[in-house]
Amino acid sequence: MKHNEHVSQINTGDAHSAEVERALDLNTKSLNEECGIFGVWGRDDAAQITYYGLHALQHRGQEGAGIVSNDAGHLWQERGLGLLSDVFRDTAHIEALQGTAAIGHVRYATAGSHGVENIQPLMANFHDMQIALAHNGNLTNALSLRRELEQQGAIFQSSSDSEILLHLIRRSKADSFTDKIKEALGKIRGGFAYLLLTPTAMYAVLDPHAFRPFVIGQMPDGNYIVTSETAALSVVGAKFVRDVQPGELITIDDEGITIDTYTNKTTLNIDAMEYIYFARPDSNIYGVNVHQARKRMGLALAKEQPVPDADVVVGVPNSSLSAAIGYAEGAGIPNEMGLVKNQYIARTFIEPTQDKRERAVRMKLSVVDDVVRGKNIVLIDDSIVRGTTSMYIVRMLKEAGAKSVHVRIASPAFKFPSFYGIDMQTTKELLGANHSIESMTRMIEADSLAFLSVNALIKAIDLPYHGEGSGLTTAYFDGQYPSPIYDYAQSLQSFVDKGEVTFAPEPTTTYHPRQVASLHNQEFLPDGTIHANPQCAKTNIS
């Protein structure tokens, strides 16, 4: 994948567009990323708890990992390239992170930005305080903000868009630190779940659309945790308390937890890809269990796209196994383990380069010959992005003696890029954007190929949402982006001109948690907010 492909349609005669393209060439290779973050406050073993929590989030990124701890008001940082277990292979690195609070990050990034300077949490040392930051998402106006900040004299230490928030906070003239954060957040756009750690508090922030999952948990002794997925709560023995809501700014310190907002212009647009692929099956997002949602996707796929005379269903491990169960149940045919995954190989979708993705497939998967030999196979996968993995899997099944291989995808075809935090930046790399079903079928060497419809996907996820839209972001499939994409807008202008892509304006009204039925069992205060612990929670609604 070339780093500047997603601006290939920009009018280079325009000076600003040319500047954007140059900035992309230098700085955006790490922009589109899917990461995992974890933070805890008030525990003597904060760094160890954070390590265990990040281990549960390792599927969200394998390029780098880091932890910052707060030891009596002084922040200490350990970070490095590779898996979490590689970074902290030497136990001395964890032991050095003393203190009663910590935040951590596991990172995936696109090709070209593999330096340790981009590994988070990022940390800034000022003369009067320290700040550490961990970010999951992507800012859609990062190029413009970075250019403006550099013109004002800011010096960036990384090529990550995550660093921008630190500069904005520091340059704010607001009186309190909380107000500085709010002012900074008012300037950024896109998808973001942030954890900030200072000597006196931990802050959690979610973007006004809630693109990324973000949850609060509580340990048996009352300590609060904020993390990307509920699965991480289970690993450390914490109970789920609530989902962070769009537009919220949450402060956790020695006095308890404060639920605040930095904007009342919010909506709900959870990224459907979290349910389709990224989140663990044992995680819940806004009350919807990921495994159950994927199983329903498989059931719907069996109804929409049956395979006559099929003998057996085979799911691509691991994220497609739930959908395969649903398809087999819906089709009334056996679900077999025809593919075995080497659990020590990273997920190929998030391998940083195409070359590595191709080489990894045969290392990652092996075929159970006796299951597939002589059979008409329904191969279930969660998605097709570039098609390389699908082609190799089909080839492997046929080499093992499969009579036919019919590929069924438990999501719609990817036609448009993501700008909110997933590595799908350009239509040129999306198979579904450039080829017909017939062409894709030939390219992946399958006997047939079919996808789930957008409407069926939405119904399968079954988000109990009552409001405008579906509460989900499905722009990659239907071109209906829930917000402007700012610096990237010209890259999709040709699709806008053809009526294939639309951009909703930023929200002008307020999303309310009561619009999600699954949140009804969480305690509401009269002002409409949901509080984690009414006994110790403070309210400061702006």
Residues carrying an active site annotation: 35
Q: Which two tokens stand for residue 271?
A: 């990224």
3-class secondary structure, 135: strand
- Per the CB < 8 A criterion, the answer to whether 131 and 103 are in contact is no
- Per the CB < 8 A criterion, the answer to whether 413 and 183 are in contact is no
Q: What does DSSP assign to residue 356?
A: H
Q: Which two tokens stand for residue 421?
A: 């935090």
In angstroms, rounded to a whole number, what is the distance separating the alpha carbons of residues 421 and 31?
A: 8
CA distances 466 to 57, 102, 469, Å, are: 30, 36, 9
Q: How many angstroms from the chain centroid is the CA of residue 142? A: 18
Closest by CA position to 283, among listed 243, 317, 247, 249: 243
In angstroms, rounded to a whole number, what is the distance separating the alpha carbons of residues 91 and 185?
A: 37
Strand bridging mode 502-503 / 376-381? unpaired
Closest by CA position to 1, among listed 489, 477, 423: 423
3-class secondary structure, 434: helix
In angstroms, rounded to a whole number, what is the distance separating the alpha carbons of residues 393 and 388?
A: 9
Indicate the helix (H) or strand (E) that contains 371: helix 369-372
In angstroms, rounded to a whole number, what is the distance separating the alpha carbons of residues 539 and 364?
A: 49
In angstroms, rounded to a whole number, what is the distance separating the alpha carbons of residues 215 and 80?
A: 26
- Per the CB < 8 A criterion, the answer to whether 296 and 321 are in contact is no
- Per the CB < 8 A criterion, the answer to whether 205 and 185 are in contact is yes
For 116, list phi and psi in degrees, rounded to 5. -65, -20
DSSP 213-237: --EEEE-TTS-EEEES-HHHHHHHT
In angstroms, rounded to a whole number, what is the distance separating the alpha carbons of residues 139 and 188?
A: 7
- Per the CB < 8 A criterion, the answer to whether 17 and 11 are in contact is yes
Peptide bond into 318 cis (omega under 30): yes
In angstroms, rounded to a whole number, what is the distance separating the alpha carbons of residues 389 and 209?
A: 32
In angstroms, rounded to a whole number, what is the distance separating the alpha carbons of residues 118 and 310?
A: 48
- Per the CB < 8 A criterion, the answer to whether 139 and 164 are in contact is yes
The one-letter code for the residue type at 509 is T
Indicate the helix (H) or strand (E) that contains 539: strand 537-540
The one-letter code for the residue type at 351 is E
Residues, the chain, total? 542
